[in-house]
A and B are shown apart, each in its own frame.
Chain A
Amino acid sequence: MELTLSGVSKTYPNGVRALADVTLTIPRGMFGLLGPNGAGKSTLMRSIATLQSIDSGSMRFGDIDIVRQPERLRETLGYLPQDFGVYPKVTAIDMLDHLAQLKGISRSRDRDEAVRALLHKTNLWEYRNRRLGSFSGGMKQRFGIAQALLGNPRLVIVDEPTAGLDPAERFRFHNLLAEISEDVVVLLSTHIVSDVADLCQNMAIMARGRVILTGRPLDLIGSLRGQVWKRFATAEELAIFQRELRVIAVRRVAGQRLVHVHSREQPGPGFEPAEPDLEDVYFHALASDAANAAAPAPTAPSSLQGAVAS
């Protein structure tokens, strides 16, 4: 079972090109989809989840043609949307039971078993009789994954699941995902690089509706080895570097600016070689893409800092 997308394009009625010729093969296991806000990740996820139509291209999951047979895909789909709401006045167990019905688990004994197991699994058993409206962000997110896993899905799509979670919650969430990803396809979208670094065997980076890089995280990091240089810099120096070098990222370390630069050789005085990580891969890819598109650079320091800080 693998998910294959080829030439998927989508333009919104207002003219925004959300997906442009997206081609991806997503094998069993955890697949990370990285990209800045507005890159088209959610549109892609929703399209795979049969919630949105695409203009052209094909999407297949195993032998299922997702465009033509959405109902067949739904039989095997678990979906956790990016933002979702819950009925505030319904308890977790009732809601999950109800969703289990909608996922086709019609025998109440089966449903009961599935719901119990998932509530235990997501550590919500204690709160099963609470109204969903009183759940914290982390609990809501765990509820979200519980419902996504109902009914034995073969394809699980989780759209930015860790946004807003505290570190402990995130850790627990990662463990859950890792546990299920052994024999199903899990497609995880995020703009948090370490989510992918920690979890995914495979990944792709999207920007402006296109896939700009795809591969295994370790391979991608390896491909940058020896090409990343770092140096502390003042504001004036930074301005010069940004004009003259390929700055990947600027971080703050103990109050000082640490600049990462991509270069095949020593870029200048004071630069030391740096061991690349996935963040370097990500920002390098975005920077290259921006340069290719000759669009306004997405690497303005402030926005980068914002991304890095999160």
Chain B
Amino acid sequence: MSAPRLILALVSFELVRRIKMISTWVYAVILFGAGFLMMLSTGGAFSSVTVVTSNERVMANGPVSLFGTIGIVALFGVFTVAAIFGQAAYQDFQHGTWMLVFTKNVKKTPYLLGRFLGALVFACVLFLAIGVGQLLGSIVVHFIHPEALGPTSAVAYLWPYLVQVWPMLFFVGALFFTLAAVLRRMAPVYVGAVVLVLGYLLTTTLIRDVENMTLAGLLDPFGFLAFGIVTRYWTPAEQNTLLVPLSSLFGVNRVLWSGAGIALLALAVQRFRTTVDEHRGRAIGDEERSEDATPFPATVPVSTTTGWARASFGLVRIYFREIVRSGVYWALVVSAAFFGTLIVLLTKEIFGTATLPVTYQTLEMTTAAVRLFGLIMVTFWAGELVWRERDVGAQDIFDATRAPTWVGYVAKLGALFLVALSVEGVSAVIALVSQIGRGYLAIEWSLYLAQLLVIDFSGLALAAVLAFFVHVLVDHKYIGHAVMVLYYVSKIALVAIGVEEPLVQYASSPSTPYSDMNGYGHLLGPFFWFRAYWSGFAVLLVVAGYALFVRGRERRLRARIAAGRQRLGPFSKLLAAAGALVFVVAGGTIFHFTHVVNRYETAKDKERKRADYEKKYKSMASLPQPSIVGAEVRIDIYPEDRRLVAKGSYRIANKRSEPISRVMLNMDDDVLVHDLRIGDTRATEVDERLAVHLFTLPSPLAPGDEADLVYDLELHPKGISHGGPKLAVVHNGTFVNNDILPLIGYWPHVELESDRDRKSYGLPPKERMAPRDDPNQRMHNYIRRDSDFIRFAATVSTSGDQIAVAPGYLEGAWWEGNRRVFRYVMDQPILNFFSVLSARYEVKRDEWNGIKLEIFHHPTHTQNLDRMMQGMKDALAYATEAFGPYQHRQVRILEFPRYRTFAQSFPNTIPYSEAIGFIARVRDSDPDDVDYPYYVTAHEVAHQWWAHQVVGANVRGATMTSESMSQYTALMVMQRKYGKERMRRFLKFELDAYLRGRALERKKELPLAHNENQQYVHYNKGSVAMYALADYIGEDRVNRALRKVVEKWKFRGPPYATAKDIVDALREETPPEYQYLIDDLFETITLYDNRTLEASVAKNAAGTWDVTLKVLAKKLRSDDAGRQTELDFEDWIDVGALDGAGTAIHLEKVRIKNGESEVRFTVKERPAKVGIDPLNKLIDRDSNDNVKVPSAS
């Protein structure tokens, strides 16, 4: 047979064979179903049951959505491909037909290619099922949410196949095929598949650091990361219209890995042997020997329970030893160790800067990285152990021994637990190596025990029991594995369809984050209840599995059940009864607390409440309401009971021109209201569900009149609550703010934001914020709509070993019994925005120009205190000099547990999470490290001006007046200390975060000075825009403008300042030639696309270097959906040269017109790179093509 005919014959043989197999249709249905469900999900078809909302701007059937969904399903389909390609190479060995094949006149190259192509064609066709599923899904979506769909485009469906799925199938197919062909075994193929997918998932963490992006994009064999990188800045409009271009990193990736596929196939052809595997090792001669005359032993067996227990234990050893000796085990362990270590080493939490490898964090990262391996390992070996004897054909011998069935059963389960335990061992080794490797020796061994053995191992053991039971029950290895995969998928699916009840989700448990301040706190209690509940269930599974365990040749379930009844002895029954008792008692307790004592509320319930709130009370929005003008707070914290009592009053005043007779108060959901009254009047109507209290005042509050709003409230979370434990009041590190006190009037923030969600509740679409000039909203500040600047005094008490802190100055501290009481009074009006913290603090003190500086910190968290202290001093110095005096005589930083990760600026008080600055590891020697404890401190101190002096009105752009200005201040403080060079890396992160953020925008992107509290705009774009402006017009001019704003607006309102006031001030200071910048940076969404097309250098007569550049400049204006139009311009843009380290050796601003232009300049030394905007000061989505290595001319 000629080679092509042979190939064709093999391909068609393979296809026909596959079509007849049930598994083919199972794969097809799964892929189709996954595609179908993904489309329904992205199209928002499940929004009636879940709160997972999709992006309103990105069409579910747009090219990028389709690419993403088809790609992700295909990625997980790789496991099925492993079997297909592996078997294509292996089947002739598996069935022993290879001797028949290769004794025919078959050449190995066409044979292998035929087998491979057969599998490839089959897989390529099979995977089309995903797209078909998506197409049909889009028809369903069309009836539910037509607005979620764009026009159907065949190209958009086919493109992912052409450039991603099929090339991926080619590469991974070639890999699996080669493994099976060369090694003649299937196990390496499965290990290969696991390693490949896990490796991919873990590599995705690489791209958290902007700098590693290109590398990660090339390393990813699936092309999926490269796709993500190429499209990461695409606006919704682009995502809906553009195909992923091949002329990009993505294309390079595809070429690279397709080439790797070809190389693998060549390897397969070269290394494939058509001959018998010759056994290595010594041959055994079976030589004749005379009969041995020893008599037969007459050992009489005696069976005792201890004897059997010993036998069982011996079996555990044999089973486990066999597992540990297998290649699969080591392949998984080594890859777990490899990827785990990689993750731990590469994870850089904030601004590309690592934290100290403290034990809890290292362990959390490690266990998270290894968890998937652990689940795969226990599932795999559950199947292997259940089938151990039958796989080798020794079952008859074992089953006919006199050993009771439990001996083998318990041993298998025991060996499986050892596998799980060894996974924890791997975690421990990774964690230890990474701690010691970084020179961190304050290792907390008890945490290793708690985190690995108690918390993690118990979960893995539960998974092991389930996997083992499933394999016993199903009694078919591959179906057993399929059932387990379905189980893991269903865990995710249950959440996706809104099932939250943890009592029906096997092995569920609340999370137990560890905090240095609060330890495991009260979190272990609920955790153990859940573990007890599921352990009780697991015991039932173990006993049921014992009853159903196959002994002998009988495999029918009915017969096994009958045999199982006889098998269960008194001990098994007792065990089952104990398990059932624990299960019922723990389940009952949990249910009692989550449903009876505490309110059981799902995310969907909460969403419904928000909708109902709007429907029921929107009419109250126009009603005049009193404002808060003063606060006298008494807060008693009982850390040991996790209880907090708030008794006090707000002074309220009628600042309107008409009398007020109806008052609406909103309460926090978790707060118990003991008393609530205005003057002597109590609420006439209380809506418990929505926590709304309505008052009708007997005598209306006349304009200008004041009254007291008196409250007696309590926070006392009891037992286990649904949706995770309450973390505001804890044993050590309580942090509450005044949201636990009443809010006055209709609260628009409660309203649902997504228009799609609103529609499903019959609510009209709404804007997130009012326009900048809205006269009504200008009368409110954006921090608290029911208050202006208020008087403030607080008395807080706590247990004797803790310090409690509130804003204001400490006027007195005394003991009441064994409790400490502190009195804080603020000497001037502040925003109605305060907090109370209590913990066992140590205090570090310092002073700057008569201002007292204090850091209240956890005793062991001392590493970064100097950086924070310096940050406070430098920020105070800079802001005082630039914007005007600091209004308080004191700044305090207060550490709180890592349950929340932010720092927040209250008047003269800055709560600061232990997770962000206190465990930072900033190495001064490494220019890549960003000193973020210093930077965050500076940002928060800057808020004392930007928010607490000048506060924005409740309109668009409000956060530019606070967040963007604080970002700017912190940037300048940091630049003063660390120099311009160090700022570049920081700004790169900021630019990247902005560009990614706008790609993920769900509603609409707005310009900086109109932003609707959009973090990627007010923080990230804010940094970039303000830094660029300072670069163009100079820091002095910027600060002069801002100083004027502060002088005019400090402590003013209503009406409050808006972003327009800042923009106007900046515009005034900006020279005429840069006026366009103000519009570009603040009032519009403007991006450049600058590129250096050609660059050359030549040494001139003077010994310096003449640089000639040909650049292409484009400026684009984007609308709120990301649709861009090109602008004509003639702007000032940097051109310059960089040395090898990336430092600018020449920079000058020149006027550049849109389109191509030529630029010349001269530099002293030979530059490494030259180009336009070489330091990336402008917003440009591809900052890499700005510079080029110049050619010598």
Where the two chains meet, the residues of A that have a C-beta atom closer than 8 Å to any C-beta of B are 13, 46, 49-53, 71, 74-75, 77, 79-81, 83-90, 94, 98-99, 101-107, 110-111, 113-114, 117-118, 120-121, 123, 125, 127, 130, 134-136, 138-139, 144, 147, 149, 151-152, 168-169, 172, 175, 179-180
Q: Do residues B403 and A46 form an inter-chain contact, with CB atoms below 8 A?
A: no
Q: Which of A121, A138, A139 sits near B294, CB closer than 8 Å? A: A121
Bound complex: CA A170 to CA B105 (Å)? 40
Smallest beta-carbon distance B414→chain A, Å:
15
A52 with B307: in contact, given A74-B400, A79-B400, A98-B314 (CB under 8 Å)?
no
A79 to B1105 Cα, complex, angstroms: 94
0 or 1 for each of B273-297: is its CB under 8 Å from A? (1 = yes): 0000001010010101101101111
Q: B31-63: which have CB < 8 Å to A?
A: none
Q: Do A77 and B306 contact each other (CB < 8 Å), given the known contacts A13-B556, A102-B311, A139-B284?
A: no
- Whether the Cβ atoms of A71 and B404 lie closer than 8 Å is yes
Q: Considering only CB atoms, which chain B residue lies closest to A142 in the complex?
A: B286
Task: Specify which chain B residues have a CB less than 8 angstroms from the CB of A86 in the assembled complex.
Answer: 392, 394
How distant is B572 from chain A, measured CB to nearest CB, in Å?
Answer: 15
Verify A74–B284 contact, CB threshold 8 A: no
Residues of A within 8 A of B288 (CB): 168
Decide yes or no whether B308 CB sits under 8 A from chain A. Answer: yes
* A81-B396 in contact given A103-B301, A117-B294 (Cβ < 8 Å): yes
Query: For chain B residues 734-759, which have a beta carbon within 8 Å of chain A?
Result: none
From A46, A104, A136, contact of B284 by CB (8 A): A136
Q: Is B706 an interface residue (CB 8 A)?
A: no
Residues in A with CB closer than 8 Å to B310 are 101, 106
Residues of B within 8 A of A151 (CB): 299-301, 402
**Docked-complex contact A77 and B552, CB < 8 angstroms:** no
Q: Establish whether residues A103 and B284, one from each chain, have CB atoms under 8 Å apart when the complex forms.
A: no
Contact A98 B302 (CB under 8 A): no
Do A101 and B311 touch across chains, with their CB atoms under 8 A apart? Answer: yes
Knowing A50-B552, A84-B396, A90-B322, the reply to whether A175 touches B301 (Cβ < 8 A) is no
- Report the nearest A residue to B304, measured CB to CB: A106
For the complex, is B397 an interface residue (Cβ under 8 Å from A)? Answer: yes
Find the A residue at minimum CB distance from B562: A53
Q: Please pick, from B284, B296, B392, the residue contacting A149 in the complex, using a CB distance under 8 A.
A: B296
B95 at interface (Cβ–Cβ under 8 A)?
no
Which of chain B's residues have a CB closer than 8 A to the CB of A172? 291
Q: Which 9 A-B pairs have the closest CB atoms?
A: A106-B307, A85-B393, A104-B301, A85-B392, A81-B396, A51-B552, A102-B403, A101-B311, A117-B297
- A75 touching B301, Cβ below 8 Å: yes
Pick from B294, B310, B551 the residue with the most CB of A within 10 Å.
Answer: B294
Q: Give chain B residues whose Cβ lies under 8 Å from the Cβ of A125.
A: 292
Given contacts A102-B408, A152-B298, 16 further A-B contacts (CB under 8 A): A46-B396, A46-B553, A51-B399, A51-B400, A52-B554, A53-B552, A53-B563, A74-B401, A80-B397, A85-B394, A101-B311, A104-B308, A104-B402, A113-B297, A134-B281, A152-B301
Is B325 in the interface zone, CB < 8 Å from A?
A: yes
CA gap between A45 and B564 in the complex, in Å: 23
Q: Which bucket holds chain B's interface residue count?
A: 35 or more
A102's partner among B292, B398, B553, B556 (CB-CB below 8 A) is B398
B397 touches A106 (CB 8 A): no
CB contact under 8 A between A114 and B404, given known A52-B552, A147-B397: no
Taking a contact as CB atoms closer than 8 A, the residue among A106, A118, A138 that contacts B308 in the complex is A106
Q: How far is the CB of A148 from chain B (nearest CB, A)?
A: 8
Q: A107–B304 Cα gap in the complex (Å)?
A: 10
When the two chains form their complex, are residues A106 and B284 in contact, meaning their CB atoms are under 8 A apart?
Answer: no
Task: Point out the residues of chain A lying under 8 angstroms from B22, CB to CB.
Answer: none
Q: What total of A-B pairs shows CB separation below 8 Å?
A: 154
B269 smallest CB distance to A (angstroms): 30
Are A106 and B311 neighbours in the complex by a CB distance under 8 Å?
A: yes
Is B198 in the interface zone, CB < 8 Å from A?
no
Enumerate chain A residues within 8 angstroms of B544, measured Cβ to Cβ. none
Q: Give A231 to B303 CA distance when docked, in angstroms.
A: 61
A49 contacts B281, CB within 8 Å?
no
Closest CB of chain B to A43's CB: distance in Å?
Answer: 9
B559 at the binding interface (Cβ < 8 Å): yes
Is the CB of B318 closer than 8 A to any CB of chain A?
A: yes
B-side contacts of A179, CB under 8 Å: 296
Alpha-carbon distance between A39 and B303 when the two chains are bound, in angstroms: 37
| Inter-subunit contact A75/B284 (CB<8 Å) | no
Q: Enumerate chain A residues within 8 angstroms of B296, measured Cβ to Cβ.
A: 117-118, 121, 149, 179-180
Decide yes or no: A98 and B318 within 8 Å by CB, A71-B402, A84-B394, A179-B296 being known contacts. Answer: yes
Query: How many angstroms between the C-alpha atoms of A102 and B395 in the bound complex?
Result: 13
Q: Does B1172 contact A (CB under 8 A)?
A: no
B300 touches A152 (CB 8 A): yes
A151 vs B407: C-alpha distance when bound (angstroms): 17
Contact partner of A75 among B303, B311, B322, CB < 8 A?
Answer: B303
Q: Is there an interface contact between B302 and A106, defined as CB atoms closer than 8 Å?
A: yes
Inside 8 A of A104's CB, which chain B residues have their CB? 301-303, 307-308, 402-403
User: How far is the CB of B568 from the nearest CB of chain A, in Å?
Assistant: 14
Provide 23 A-B residue pairs closer than 8 Å at the C-beta atoms, listed in order of the A residue. Answer: A50-B400, A51-B399, A75-B303, A79-B400, A81-B400, A84-B393, A84-B394, A87-B318, A98-B318, A99-B398, A102-B403, A102-B407, A103-B401, A104-B301, A106-B302, A106-B311, A117-B295, A123-B291, A125-B292, A144-B397, A151-B300, A172-B291, A180-B296
Query: Which chain B residues border A107 with CB–CB below 8 Å?
Result: 302, 307
B328 to chain A minimum Cβ distance, whole angstroms, is 13
B-chain residues with CB within 8 Å of residue A136 when the two chains form the complex = 284, 286
Per-residue CB proximity of B785-813 to A under 8 Å, as 1/0? 00000000000000000000000000000
Q: Which of B310, B318, B397 has its CB near the most chain A CB atoms (within 10 A)?
A: B397
Task: Name the residue on B nearest A122 (C-beta).
Answer: B292
- B286 in contact with A105 (CB, 8 Å): no
- 0/1 string, B558-580, CB within 8 A of A gives 1: 01000100000000000000000
Instruction: Determine whether B839 belongs to the interface, using a CB cutoff of 8 Å to chain A.
Output: no
- Cβ of A107 to closest chain B Cβ, rounded Å: 8
- Which residues in chain B, 375-421, are within 8 Å of chain A measured between CB atoms? 391-394, 396-404, 407-408
Q: Which chain A residues lie closer than 8 Å to B393 at the CB level?
A: 83-85
Contact between A175 and B286 (Cβ–Cβ < 8 Å)?
A: no
Contact of B315 with A84 in the complex, beta carbons under 8 Å: no
Is A113 a contact of B284 with CB atoms below 8 Å? no
Shortest Cβ distance from residue A259 to the other chain B in the assembled complex, whole angstroms: 37
**Are the C-beta atoms of B396 and A51 separated by less than 8 Å?**
yes
- Return the CB mask of B199-229 against A: 1 if under 8 Å, else 0: 0000000000000000000000000000000
Report the separation of the CA atoms of residues A106 and B403 in the bound assembly, to the nearest whole angstrom: 11
CB-CB under 8 A from B396, the residues of chain A are 46, 49, 51, 79, 81, 84
Q: Return A158 CB to nearest CB of chain B, in Å.
A: 12
How far does the alpha carbon of A52 sit from the alpha carbon of B560 in the complex, in Å?
A: 11
In the bound assembly, the distance between CA atoms of A175 and B403 in angstroms comes to 29
**Closest chain B CB from A199 CB (angstroms):** 16
Say whether B281 contacts A101, CB under 8 Å.
no
Q: How far is the CA of A180 from the CA of B284 in the complex (A)?
A: 28
Whether A87 touches B291, Cβ cut-off 8 Å, given contacts A75-B402, A103-B301, A135-B284, is: no
Q: Is the CB–CB distance between A130 and B284 below 8 Å?
A: yes
The answer to whether B400 touches A49, judged by C-beta atoms less than 8 angstroms apart, is yes
Inter-chain CA distance A121–B322, complex, in Å, is 28
Are B400 and A113 in contact, CB atoms less than 8 angstroms apart? no
Which of B314, B394, B400, B402 has the most C-beta atoms of chain A within 10 angstroms of its own C-beta? Answer: B400
Nearest CB of B to A4, in Å: 20
Kindly provide the distance from the CB of B398 to the nearest chain A CB, expressed in whole angstroms.
7
